[in-house]
Amino acid sequence: MAQVNAYLTFDGNCEEAFNFYKSVFGGEFPMIGKFGDMPPQEGMPPMSEEIKNRVMHVTLPISQETILMGSDTMPGMHDHKAGNNISLSINTDSKEEAERLFNGLSEGGNVTMPLADTFWGAYFGMWTDKFGINWMVNYDDPAKVQSH
């Protein structure tokens, strides 16, 4: 069964925000990855130190059922503004469930990242639905997921 969580995006202050949320909710970050941790991408220019230090992905468990997730945007790649800086993130139990939900919920909307295998071992995609809501779907294949 799919699990839905909030995914927040920031313009360079994700780590500061999540440290604040952690101070309020408690807990620890099971993982926090920076853009500088990514393997080199063919055709991509070298990253500045500022971009390397931006958060690529962070998770903060809030309860047994809820995880707050977030990242910084890459400058120039997303129109970051209040109101479009939150997505609903769906974690699925299978690749087939990810495809079914992606295909159904993105119908009539705008796919911003097609479903694909990622370097971190997930099957992942993003879209804005026909009502303007931002979504992500993620399936962590146990055979492919890297330990963080």
- Contact of 61 with 67, CB cutoff 8 Å: yes
Give per-residue pLDDT as tens, 109-123.
999 999 999 888 899
- Contact of 87 with 9, CB cutoff 8 Å: yes
State which amino acid sits at residue 19: N
Domains located in the chain, CATH noted:
93-142 (3.30.720.110)
Give per-residue pLDDT as tens, 28-77.
999 899 999 888 778 777 888 888 999 999 999 998 888 999 999 887 66
Q: Report the candidate in 89, 78, 75 with the shortest Cα–Cα distance to residue 112.
A: 78
Pairing outcome for strands 110-117 and 32-34: unpaired
Burial bucket for residue 116 (CB in 10 Å: 0-12, 13-18, 19+): exposed
